[in-house]
Amino acid sequence: MKQRPEVTAYFLIFFILSVAIFALSKTGVLSPFEPIFQTIIAPVQSTVYNGFSFVTGIGSNSKIKDLENKNDLLTKKLLDQDKLIKDNKALNDQFLTQNPPSDNLLPAQIVGAPGFVPGLSVPEDYIIDKGLADGVKVGDAVVVGDNLIGIVYKTTKYLSSVSLVTNSSASFTAKTMETNALGVVKGQGGGGLILDNVVLSDNLKVGDLIVTKGDASVLGEGVMPGLILGEIVAISKNPSDLFQRAKLNARVNFSKLYKVFVVIR
């Protein structure tokens, strides 16, 4: 059984090498070298992902797509109008209601969005082709239109990882657009979203939009207010519970996106 010691030797050598590289990676020593491979593979990933998105998009009804785009545009106008009305009511010209200004937006291509069943399962994270070299930082919000897509949680020189709002570890303070009820939006994984921790005395309405309340610090870190998280589709209110909750539908199809925008501070 001469082969067995040889196999063990091979295993030990590469296992120890792997552990050593893992330890170096955790300490950040390998950070300068990581971008070298990422600059090579990012275009390949982007091509594969775009090709896959194109193939899965074949046969989708263009009329329905047009209607969805018009719906998004009208929702944006509704949001803008609502903000104008509130601003006028409060007579507060100095308070800026922040829809992300266009000069703060950095367009980014999605190069990776691994999901269980490609094209059907909603991914929980994106990998985008912008990183530290482009000014992206951990904690930056990622948007499409007025919709919050997720938050950057890891950056390298040329790539970044984005945790989607539907990720089971995601949560955001939020409010309803019509009734101003406050709550916390939590990702459920698999594309699910709920609005939780809403006091029973607040009104929730099916069809109402949920927007971020905003938790930006003085340094500009965090999520700005007014970004759409989803729309209420069902309400769960039990008088014996402390809080009521609502099930939300995201207004964005996360498995079909290929381009997003990073809000640069």
Partner 1 sequence: MKTISVILLTLALIIESTITTIPLILLCLLTLTAVFREKFIFVLAFIFGLLLDLAMLKPVGFSSIIFEIYIFLIFMYQSKLEITTSNFIIVASFLGSVAFLLLNGLFRNIILESIVSTLVGIMIFIITRRLVKVKTND
Distance CA 225, CA 143 (A): 12
Which of 21, 67, 74, 133 binds partner 1 (CB under 8 A)? It is: 21
Phi-psi region of 6 (alpha: psi -120 to 50; beta: other; left: phi over 0): alpha
39's tokens? 């600059």
Distance CA 104, CA 113 (A): 24
In the complex with partner 1, which residue's Cβ is closer, 30 or 200? 30
Restricting to residues 34-63, which ones interact with partner 1 according to CB under 8 A? 34, 37-38, 41, 44-45, 48-49, 52
- Beta carbon of residue 44, minimum distance to partner 1 (angstroms, whole number): 6
Which of 58, 90, 91, 117 binds partner 1 (CB under 8 A)? It is: 117
- Least Cα distance to 231 among 165, 162, 140 occurs for 165
Distance CA 144, CA 107 (A): 10
Distances (CA, A) of 219 to 80, 151, 198: 25, 17, 29
> Binding to partner 1 by residue 221, rule CB under 8 A?
no
Choices 1-9, 67-75, 86-94, 240-248 (CB under 8 A): range interacting with partner 1: 1-9
In the complex with partner 1, which residue's Cβ is closer, 158 or 211? 158
User: Cβ contacts of residue 96 below 8 Å, gap of 6+?
Assistant: none
- Beta carbon of residue 78, minimum distance to partner 1 (angstroms, whole number): 34
- Beta carbon of residue 46, minimum distance to partner 1 (angstroms, whole number): 9
What sign does the CA torsion over 81, 85, 88, 93 have? Answer: negative
Choices 120-128, 135-143, 177-185, 223-231 (CB under 8 A): range interacting with partner 1: 120-128
Catalog residues that contact partner 1 under the rule CB under 8 A.
1, 4, 6-8, 10-11, 13-15, 17-26, 30, 34, 37-38, 41, 44-45, 48-49, 52, 111-119, 121, 124, 127, 154, 156, 159-161, 168, 189-190
